[in-house]
Structure formats: structure tokens, C-alpha cells
Amino acid sequence: MTGAPATLLEVRDLTATFSRDGVPSRVVNAISFDIAPGEAVGFVGESGSGKSVTARAVMRLAPEGSSIEWGGRIRFKGQELLNLTEREMRDVRGRRIAMVFQDPMASLNPVMSVGQQIDDMLVRHTGVSARAARKRTVELLSLVGIRDPQIRADDFPHQFSGGMRQRVLIAIAVSCQPDLLIADEPTTALDVTVQAQILRLLMRLRRELGMALMLITHDFGVIAGMVERVYVMHGGNIVEAGEVDALFAEPKHAYTQALLAAVPRIESTRRPA
Amino acid sequence: MSEAPTRPRSRGQLLFTIGIGMLIALLVIAAFGPLIAPYNPSTTSPNSLAEPTAAHWLGTDSIGRDLLSRLIVGGRSTLIITFAAVALALGAGLVLGLTSGYLGGKVDLTIMRLLDVVFAFPVFLLAIAVVAALGPTVRNLILTIAIVYTPAMARVVRGPVLSVKRWDHVEAARSVGVGEFAIALRHVLPMVVSPILVQTSLILANTIFTVTALSFLGLGPPPPDPNWGSMLAEARQFMELAPLTVIGPAVAIVFASLTFIVLANGLREMLDVGSR
Amino acid sequence: MLRMILVRLALTVPILLGVSIIAFGLMRALPGDFVLAAAGTTSVSDEVIATMRASLGLDRPIWEQYGIWFGNALTGDLGYSFATKKSVASELLPRLAVTAELTLMAGLLAMLMGVTTGLASARLRGRTDWAVRGLNSLLLAVPNFVIATLIVLLFGLYFPTIGIFNYVPFAKDPLGNIGSLLLPALSLALTVSVTISENTRAAVLEVSSQDYVMVARAKGLLARTILGNYLVRNALTPVITVTGLQLAALLGGSILIETIFTIPGMGQYLFDSVSRRDYPVIQAIVLVSSTIVLLMNVLVDIAYARVDARVSYE
């Protein structure tokens, strides 16, 4: 490979087909998009639009017990992800591409301390010793804003609030300094006051670690100030794409307009064109 | 890696049909045993531990009695005791479970605590102790086993009752003034039926085990009526000489238990109770 | 937590009392018989009967008798055997140890078989799942004493040189002891393993669909790490507690297995006592076994609570 590719993630004609009782249904319909290194991109749409499935496609994570057929091309740093074996994919997950999920309450293993859950990530992908891993774990916990990280590392998930658990999960996700961080509705399950904190944390980490960010949400309000470009999804298709400011000012597609109208604004008298 | 799921309902129906078939066979044997059996099961003969022949399809036991006849007639007492005991347990369990679940509160607590006492015993040891104390008559066996399984039945009934009790249409009926008893009967009971059917089948299988185990230990109905458990125990003495005397009763016992297990599985899949 | 344990233990007391009353009451159902059983023969003069009644305390009111018996039991005095005239406690203890060993082996075997098949069933699905569940249903239909008898028959017919009735005490020959208990433990374990297998399967299926397993996969952890630390560790806790609850079934089955394999345990002791109408022994065994089962149930409850604290989301 000569020279680094300009695009970090290049997706072409991605399709995802669920099979239930032998009846197939297409949830993502030949979409294409790009993410450049260090870029922040948003995916907006209501539930069922296929945005979460798209995120799972990049990680190739089908939900347990169901089978999804992926089609199209997903090129990450020049490598075709859909051609990789499951074993090779495991080397990519967590190390090069990491993910933060929606519900922090159920996302941590209840019988392991939070420290152990960051340690095992570090040991697995960077091969350091347990002691070195724990040192780094404490640094990471501090990085995401957890007080007394040394002590807290030995605590169990049920001893943390929802917002704190999400911080831990973010720590896990960035621990190996991935090139791309996918955040699937990272604040939806959190209190409003905590939401802003988490979003700010994501922004800060992205800046400091130079990661690209793929932010999935149904809430246009979350997108504002977080990403540079947006893809709007509906019914498994990308209906509109563009720079954030442009989209806010002049949404072209009827659906985008509807989504924007749903966001409570300070200038309540003015409605988008 | 998961293959296309086979539809549970039709598989359930298949199992259920097979189970019913087996059950009918059992009932026929129980009802008409002595008429079907080629010999009188108590008739001894000098032809002991014989191999299977045309005269004796399964051979004979240690005192020359025809094995096949003994197996056929032997099912009788086992099955009668089983059905009677479970019927009693079911009745008592229904009453207790419905009352306890529906009335809730203190009544529920008291009844459950009382049942816990029986539950605490290793079931089988309790049965042995009682039968040992009161004597192994058919009546005592039925009563003991019924008592021992009543808590399990009551629990099975109570569960769905507790959840159904809170359903909206029950609230609605209550608000219109329908009597508590009528509510219990018309609304709660039907919901409870499916898990009860499944559990009853399983308890029937379990009871077969208990009854045959008791007679294996010599605590079953006294001779001369043959029964599978004691036949198995007696056969141990000369089992290498005539393996059929052991295999015969073993197969009979397994067949009877299997009938109810197949029924239970079939019901479970058909009624979609606790399907995974 | 400590308070919860104490409360739970306290709740056990009324049940234990109830159990003891039943155990006591059963044996006194036929008082006339009781004395005759103690005498050991039916041809005995009235004076002797009267003396025996007095010495056995049967002339006292029934609740006093119960009180004395229960009080003694609490201090470890379980009365005296009618047959051997020796202290029941002294005869019961070594036999209880043997049964405990048998039960422990059976429990471990059952867990080994059950967890393996349940795990395979849940993870591999398809044919394996179908086969395991079918086999389980079949096994459920075969009572443990039938299995044991068939095993004895099998060995008698095809491996007559291998002795299966030679129980050796642990102190004399530890390896031989374990070897002699292997087949009996297996007979006991097979039926119980079915319950464990089904529970494991359900637990693993449930855990597999949890969010934290998805997160573990997203972390790119090795398959065996996910299986061990995330799946099995969480699925196993309910399984272990269920196994604890199987103790009652194991104890009940031990009487049959011990009789078949001629193992000098508590079960065989009970059987002999029943044949000889040795009521003090029967009473004592019922009381002791129920107490053990009750204590095990309390342990299981405590284990549940401990896991629950970690797993429940307010």
C-alpha cells in the first residue's frame, strides 16, 4: 500500500438483509458514504431508518440469534472488511474501530469490576501486562472524568450511575486509541443534564485522540455542534447529505425538514424553509 | 449458524398425539390387564428362569411365573395409585393455589408457609417414612403421594393466578360488581389451565417413579399382586441368568414415565407455554 | 447482608419445628406398635410392656415427649436404636458421611454433564440442541434405581470380573473408595443432570442476548474470553443455585442407590430401620435430612441475594 488513503472509511452500496422465518427484509438499501480521518459525521433518522444497522455493519455485529446478510463494500483504511474472517474482524473491533452503545445500564458485565473490563481490552489488543494495563486503566478513568479512579476501578457496575457507566464505556471504547469511534445513540438513555456532559466528553476525546467519529442519533439537536457533515436516513436509504450548517439552513428533502421542525429552537417564530 | 426454526406447534401436536397413543395403551393395559394376559400372573411352575419361547413370550421368573403376564397385570396397581394420587394432589393444589393466589396477603403467606414445611422434606424420604409408619396399603400410598405432591401443584397454580389477578379485565369485572368467586372461576382459571396441564403430566411421570421406587424397596402394595417395582427388585437375585426379568420391568417403567413426559413436551410446545 | 442472612435463618425455624413435629408424630401414630417394636417381639407380658412404656417415657403427655425428644435432638442426642441399643447419633454420623460423599460426587458429576450439554445446546443450536433436548427427555423417563439396576446387570453380564459391590471406606483406601462410588454416583447424577442441563441452556440463552455480551463482542475480545468471563460467569450463578436445590432429590435417591450397590450410607440405614421398624432411627433420619435440605435452601437463597445485588438495576 503506497501512501495513506484519503478516506478512512469508504462504504459503497451497503445492504443489510434480515431473515426471519425464511422471509427476508431489507433494512439498509444500497447506501454509500465516506468518513475521512479525524472527521466527525452524523447519521440522523427515526427508529427503523436503518442507521443503527449501518453502524453494526461497519463492526459486522449482528444481534445475537439473528442472521443478517451484508452486501456491498466497506473499505476501512484500504481493507475490505466484508472479506475478513470473523477472527480477523475481532482484531479490528476495539482496536481500530470501537463502539459506544445506547443503554449504559445493561452494557457492563455485572460480575466484573469496571477496571477489569478496561484491563481485558488493553491486554487483548496491546498485549501489555496486567499491571501495566491497570495503570493505563486508571489514567483512562481519569480521562473520562471519574473521580478517585484508583479506588473506583475496583468497583462494580451497579455502584455507578447511568452517566458514570457511560463514561466507563467510553473509556473502554477509546482505550486502544481506535481510528474510528462509532457512537450509537450515546445519550438517549441518559438524563438531559448528563447528556450534554457526555457529548462534551466525546468532543474532547475526539480532539485529543484525533479519532474520527460516527455519531448516530434521532435527535438533530444532538448533532448541532458535534459533527461536520450529516447523512439523513429514512426507510433504509440516505435521503439527504451535506455540511451541517447548510442542512440546518436549507434542508432540501421533505423528511429532513420534518426532522428539523421537531427540534425545539430558541427562535421559535422562524420555521425552516 | 442457526438453521430455519421448525414450527413448534406442529411438532407439539405430533408429540401430543404420540403421547396420547401411549397413554391409551397404558389405560387399556390397566383396565383389561387380567383379560389380556396369557397366563394367571400368580401361577407358579417348575419352569423357572426360562428363555423366551412360544409358550412364554418373555420367559419366566424365578418361580416359573410368566413374565409377560406379570408385566401386563403389574401395571395396574402402579397406574391406579398414580392416577388417584395425582388427581387428589391436583384437586388439593387447585383449591390451595387458587385461594392463596387470589386472596393474597396473610392467607397467601400462611398457606405458603405451611406448604413449605412439606416442601422441606426430601420428598421420597417423607414418603418412605409415612408408609413405614402407617403401613403400605394402597390407600395409604395414594394419600401419602397426594400429600407430598400437593405443594408443587399449589405453587404451579398460584403463579399464574398472581399475575392474572392484576389484569385489566379482571379489574373491570370487579368494578362492575361481579363476585370474587365468579371472577376467580371465569377469568383466572382459564389462564391457569395450560401450565397446570404441563405440570400435571410431569408430576405424573414423577409419581410413577415414586410408586415404583417404593415398591422396589418393598413398601408398595403387598403381594400377591405383581407390580413393576417389586418385580425389578426380585429379579436382581438371578439377573444374569435371566436378564429379561430385569429388562422387562425396566422397559415397562420407562414406557410409562415416557408417556407422560412426551405428553408434557407436546403440550408445552402446543400451548406455547414457556417456549424458548 | 448479614441481617438478611439472620432473617432468613430465623424464618427457617418455624419450618424446622413443623418438620420435627411431623417426624415425631409419624412415628407415634401407633403407640401400641411402638412399644412392641421396642421390645422386638410380640410375645411379651403386660408388666414388661408397662415397664417399657415408662422407660421410653410413653406415659408422659405427648407434648412433653416431643419436647424431650426435640430438646435432646438439639444437643445431638437422637435416641437409641431399638435394634442395636446403641446411640443413633453414633451410628448415623459415619453413615451420613458416606452418603454425603456419594451425594457430593453425584452433584459434581451432574453439574459436569449438565453444564456441558446445556452450554453446547445453547451455543451450537441446530442439531446439537435438538439431540441434547431429546436425550434429556429420554433420561427423565428412566428412574435412577432402574439405571442402577441396569448398570449392575450390564456389568454382571459383560464384565463379571469387575467388582461393583465392593465399597471401601475412605480411610482405608482413598482411591478405591472413590472408584467404588463412581458408578453409584453416576446413577444418581443422570436424572439430576437433566434439570441442570435445561437450566444451563436457558441461562446461557438469556445471557447471550444481554447488552454486555454485545459490548464484549464489540470490544474485539477473543471468543474464549467472552465465553468464559461474560457468558459462563453470568449464566453459572443461577445454575449453581438450582443444583443446590437438587439436594433433596439426591438425598432421596441415595436410599435406592445405596441399597442396590450395598453402600453403608444413611439411605441404607433408613431402609434397614424401616424393615426392622426401628422408629427412633427413622425419626432421626427424617429430622436430619430435612434439616440439611432446609439449610441448603437457605444457602441457595443467600447466594441468589448476593448475585442479585450485583445484577439488579435498582
pLDDT of residue B181: 65
* pLDDT exceeds 90 at position B239: no
Which residues of A lie inside 8 Å of B (Cβ-Cβ)?
Answer: 21-22, 65, 67
* C118 to chain A, closest Cα gap in Å: 17
In the block, cell 396420547 appears at B20
Please count the residue pairs, one from chain A and one from chain C, whose beta carbons lie less than 8 angstroms apart. Answer: 86
Chain C CB contacts of B261 below 8 Å:
137, 140-141
Nearest residue, CB atoms, C26 vs list B116, B130, B258: B130
**In the 8-state DSSP scheme, what is residue A158?**
G
pLDDT of residue C4: 74
| Percent of chain C residues past pLDDT 90, beyond the cut | 24
Cross-chain residue pair A65–B2, CB shorter than 8 Å? yes
Average pLDDT, chain B: 80
Question: In B, residues 4-63, which contact A (CB 8 Å cutoff)?
Answer: 4-5
Nearest-by-CA chain B residue for A66: B2
Chain C CB contacts of A59 below 8 Å:
218
Nearest-by-CA chain A residue for B7: A21
Cross-chain residue pair B217–C271, CB shorter than 8 Å? yes
**Residues of A206-236 as b/e, b for ≥16 C-beta within 10 angstroms?**
beeeebbbbbbbbebebbeebbebbbbbbeb
Cross-chain residue pair C282–B213, CB shorter than 8 Å? no
Cross-chain residue pair B121–C289, CB shorter than 8 Å? yes
* B209 to chain C, closest Cα gap in Å: 6
* A265 pLDDT tier (thresholds 50, 70, 90): low
Chain B CB contacts of A69 below 8 Å:
none
Q: Quote the pTM value.
A: 0.81
Distance, in Å, from the CA atom of B74 to the CA atom of B79, rounded to the nearest integer, reads 9
Average pLDDT, chain C: 83
Chain A CB contacts of C219 below 8 Å:
93-94, 98, 120-121, 124, 172
Nearest-by-CA chain A residue for C215: A107
* pLDDT exceeds 80 at position A233: yes
pLDDT of residue B139: 85
* pLDDT exceeds 60 at position A261: yes
Question: In C, residues 138-177, which contact B (CB 8 Å cutoff)?
Answer: 138, 140-143, 145-146, 149-150, 152-153, 156-157, 160
Distance, in Å, from the CA atom of A229 to the CA atom of A243, rounded to the nearest integer, reads 4
Select from A59, A67, A107, A161 the residue whose CB has the most chain C CBs within 10 Å, as the one to mutate to test that interface.
A107
* B88 to chain C, closest Cα gap in Å: 21
Chain A CB contacts of C210 below 8 Å:
106
pLDDT of residue C310: 64
Cross-chain residue pair A65–B5, CB shorter than 8 Å? no
Q: Are the beta carbons of A189 and A150 closer than 8 angstroms?
A: no
Cell of C208: 447471550
Nearest-by-CA chain A residue for B6: A21
The string of pLDDT tens digits covering residues A32-49 is 999 999 999 999 988 888
Distance, in Å, from the CA atom of C280 to the CA atom of C283, rounded to the nearest integer, reads 5
pLDDT of residue B2: 40
Chain A CB contacts of C213 below 8 Å:
64
Residues 6 or more apart in contact with residue B21 via CB below 8 angstroms:
none
| Percent of chain B residues past pLDDT 70, beyond the cut | 83
Cell of B54: 412360544
- Which range has the top average pLDDT, B116-125, C32-41, C169-178, C200-209? C200-209
pLDDT of residue B180: 67
**DSSP track, A176-229:** T--SEEEEESTTTTS-HHHHHHHHHHHHHHHHHHT-EEEEEES-HHHHTTT-SE
pLDDT of residue C214: 93
Give the chains touching B; criterion: ≥3 Cβ pairs < 8 Å.
Answer: A, C
pLDDT of residue C38: 65
* pLDDT exceeds 50 at position C177: yes
Q: Is residue A70 classed as helix, strand or coil in its secondary structure?
A: strand
Q: Are the beta carbons of A233 and A221 closer than 8 angstroms?
A: no
Is C19 in CB contact (< 8 Å) with chain B?
yes
* C15 to chain B, closest Cα gap in Å: 5
On whether ipTM exceeds 0.90, the answer is no
* pLDDT exceeds 50 at position B274: no
Chain B CB contacts of A68 below 8 Å:
none
* A67 pLDDT tier (thresholds 50, 70, 90): confident
pLDDT of residue A181: 95
Q: Which residue has the higher pLDDT, C52 or A225?
A: A225
Q: Are the beta carbons of A226 and A199 closer than 8 angstroms?
A: yes
Dihedral of CA atoms C124, C130, C134, C135 in degrees, nearest 10, equals: -30
Residues in chain C: 314
Q: Is residue C44 classed as helix, strand or coil in its secondary structure?
A: coil
pLDDT of residue A25: 86
Distance, in Å, from the CA atom of A229 to the CA atom of A44, rounded to the nearest integer, reads 11
Chain A CB contacts of B4 below 8 Å:
21-22
* B5 pLDDT tier (thresholds 50, 70, 90): very low
* B188 pLDDT tier (thresholds 50, 70, 90): low
Cross-chain residue pair C30–B133, CB shorter than 8 Å? yes
Question: Measured between alpha carbons, how far apart are the two ends of chain A, in Å?
Answer: 47
Cross-chain residue pair A106–C208, CB shorter than 8 Å? no
* C113 pLDDT tier (thresholds 50, 70, 90): very high
Peptide bond into B224 cis (omega under 30): yes
- Which range has the top average pLDDT, A256-265, B162-171, B198-207? B198-207
The string of pLDDT tens digits covering residues C46-103 is 777 777 777 766 667 777 778 877 888 778 777 777 777 788 888 888 899 999 999 9
Nearest-by-CA chain A residue for C124: A65
Residues 6 or more apart in contact with residue A203 via CB below 8 angstroms:
A225, A226
The string of pLDDT tens digits covering residues A118-127 is 999 999 999 8
Cross-chain residue pair B2–A67, CB shorter than 8 Å? yes
The string of pLDDT tens digits covering residues A157-195 is 999 998 999 999 999 999 999 999 999 999 888 888 898
The string of pLDDT tens digits covering residues C277-304 is 788 888 888 888 888 888 888 888 777 7
The string of pLDDT tens digits covering residues A75-110 is 999 899 999 999 999 999 999 999 999 999 999 999
* A197 to chain C, closest Cα gap in Å: 22
Cross-chain residue pair B114–C259, CB shorter than 8 Å? no
pLDDT of residue A42: 93
* B110 to chain C, closest Cα gap in Å: 12
Select from C142, C153, C272 the residue whose CB has the most chain B CBs within 10 Å, as the one to mutate to test that interface.
C153
Nearest-by-CA chain B residue for C147: B250
How distant is the alpha carbon of residue A203 from its chain centre? 13
Question: In B, residues 109-138, which contact C (CB 8 Å cutoff)?
Answer: 113-114, 116-117, 120-126, 128-130, 132-134
Long-range contacts, stretch C130-133, CB < 8 angstroms, 24+ apart = C132/C197, C132/C201, C133/C198, C133/C201
